[in-house]
Amino acid sequence: EDKVVQSPLSLVVHEGDTVTLNCSYEVTNFRSLLWYKQEKKAPTFLFMLTSSGIEKKSGRLSSILDKKELFSILNITATQTGDSAVYLCAVESLRYSGAGSYQLTFGKGTKLSVIP
């Protein structure tokens, strides 16, 4: 059974701090790892990582994958109150059901609260 574990489960920081969110996984037929941000409604896509050691970056957010050690981190620098959200990590695996279909297994998320 595929498993994705995120840590910490919750985190409170002050504006301007830098935070690191962790995601470890155990899956068969790994294809990619994805990060999502969820505020009040739907999760919104942040990054997809498929190769080890290559950093993906978008503004103050960055992420890297280590396929040997089976984990990923999401960094947020100079945090702002608008970064307050639940950050979800998901791992995509290939499911050999004859259709070659893909599915995502999600972690339980890290709730980040940024206070002024």
Q: Which residues bind another protein (CB under 8 A)?
A: 31-32, 34, 41-45, 48, 50, 88, 90, 92, 94-95, 97, 99-109
> How many residues are present in the chain?
116
With tokens 């739907």, the residue in question is 42
Of the two residues 41 and 68, which places its CB atom closer to another protein in the complex?
Answer: 41
How does DSSP classify residue 96? Answer: -
Shortest CB 14 distance to another protein, Å:
26
- Which are the contacts of 39, defined by CB distance < 8 A and separation ≥ 6? 84, 85, 86
Report, in Å, the least distance between residue 17 CB and another protein: 25
101 vs 116, beta carbon nearer another protein? 101
Query: Which pair of tokens denotes residue 69?
Result: 């050690």
